[in-house]
Structure 1
Amino acid sequence: MVRTIAKDHDHKRAQILGAAARLFAEEGYDRASMTRIAQACGISKANIYHYYDGKEALLFDVLDSYLSRLSARICGMDLRALAPRERLQQILTEVLLAYEGADHEHKVQLNAMSALPDGQQEQLRAYQRDMVHCLMGVIRDAAPERMQKDRQTLRSVTMSVFGMLNWHYMWNPGADIPARKDYARIVTALTLDGVAGL
């Protein structure tokens, strides 16, 4: 007989993913156990296995859910009506807003992705590459005279921009929306005009 899906399945799954992300981030993937995750969710260990067949499957779903949502949000933006400079500032703002509340997932991405099999890591890195290519295209369009000729410089600039966004995320996790928007403006100016543009 096929097991029916409970009415609260999606809510329970989201609860498990949230608890797992927090424990993986705070305790480390290796030390966080399925028992501890079940306790954090207020469910039995047996119940958690209705959703995931093990910790590795849970880790993959934490990262796949996070990165697929982030990639869809960033790469799904319709920026065509904006001028090139405004496009850059808008996509940077969106990245910073998307990072809000994702501290645990971000830390797990940095520290635990390597625990997954190569095929799953490649699937997750594909989301990351999509976001890099989206931002790369926006930067290229904002500074076409230089960036269209030199792909290596374009890649270096793109990764440096992500570095600045991640710095802000790591050091200002409690920043409010106006602060995030202002930092997106600063990174846009630094990227296109250098320090003199500030």
Structure 2
Amino acid sequence: MARTRAADFEEKQRSILTTAASTFAELGIDRASMAQIASRSGVSKALLYHYYPSKDALIFDIVHTHLSELDDALAQADDANLPAETRLRLIVGQLLEHYRNADNYHQVQLTGKNVLPQEMTDQLRAIERSIVARFSTLLNDINPKLDGETPLLMPVTMSLFGMMNWMYMWFRPNGPISRDAYADIVTRLIIAGSKSLV
């Protein structure tokens, strides 16, 4: 007979993911052990392995959860009835909002994929490609010349992600600029800058 899930399975799983992401971000992927994560999560090592049979499975689920929820949030924020520039601003804002309180998940995304088996990495990259495509499609709609003789669409798209993805290195919630204000800056810079290229 199949083992049934506990009523609080998903709540415990999310708690483990949050603690594991924090531990990996603090100690590094290589140095953080399953025993440390179990201890910090307040669960036994056996229970941790019940949820995640390996460190790779845990890293994968941290990144997969982060990317899947981001992809869904961007899809909900994007309104095809609006002009491309407005849509870009909306999804830039949504991505930066999704990163709120998710710095540890984001750091594991940036560093954890390198240690995972190819099959896991391929699954994560598929979601990343979906996310990147949403932004590059809008950038191309705003300025179709970016995809001309000199292909600039991907460099411009990845420059946009550089501005967004590394925000966690310097941004402070009580600093002189809000996430929303930074979303405006990023959007205006990338639109004006890309239009000046071609």
Q: TM-score, normalised by structure 1?
A: 0.89
1:184–1:175 Cα change, 3 Å: farther
User: Unaligned regions of 5+ residues in structure 2, if any?
Assistant: none
Q: Which residue of 1 aligns with 2:161?
A: 162
Aligned-pair distance for 1:69? 1.0
Aligned-pair distance for 1:173? 4.7
* Number of aligned residue pairs: 194
Q: Which residue of 2 aligns with 1:20?
A: 20
Which amino acid is the alignment partner of residue 160 of structure 1? S
Task: For residue 152 of structure 1, give the secondary structure of its aligned residue in structure 2.
Answer: coil
1:26-65 map, 5 Å: 26-65=26-65
Which amino acid is the alignment partner of residue 10 of structure 1? E
Q: Which residue of 2 aligns with 1:192?
A: 191
Q: Which residue of 2 aligns with 1:79?
A: 79
Q: Which residue of 2 aligns with 1:89?
A: 89
Q: TM-score, normalised by structure 2?
A: 0.89
Which amino acid is the alignment partner of residue 3 of structure 1? R
Aligned-pair distance for 1:2? 2.3
* Counterparts of 2:117 and 2:172, CA distance in 1: 30
Which amino acid is the alignment partner of residue 62 of structure 1? I
* Counterparts of 1:82 and 1:133, CA distance in 2: 18
Q: Which residue of 2 aligns with 1:117?
A: 117
* Counterparts of 1:192 and 1:46, CA distance in 2: 51
1:2–1:192 Cα change, 3 Å: closer
Contact in 1 for aligned 2:146/2:153 (Cα 8 Å): yes
Q: Alpha-carbon deviations, 1:124-174, whole Å to 9, x = none?
A: 011111111100011111223x23535721111111111111232321053
Aligned-pair distance for 1:40? 1.0
Contact in 1 for aligned 2:97/2:179 (Cα 8 Å): yes
* Counterparts of 1:143 and 1:173, CA distance in 2: 33
Q: CA RMSD in A?
A: 2.1
* Counterparts of 2:96 and 2:11, CA distance in 1: 26
Aligned-pair distance for 1:85? 1.6
Which amino acid is the alignment partner of residue 111 of structure 2? N
* Counterparts of 2:151 and 2:61, CA distance in 1: 33
Task: Return 40-49 or 149-158, whichever deviates more.
Answer: 149-158
Aligned-pair distance for 1:179? 1.3
Which amino acid is the alignment partner of residue 119 of structure 2? G
Aligned-pair distance for 1:97? 0.6
Runs of 4 or more, structure 1, over 3 Å off, are 75-78
* Counterparts of 1:75 and 1:27, CA distance in 2: 33
* Counterparts of 2:166 and 2:3, CA distance in 1: 46
Aligned-pair distance for 1:77? 3.2
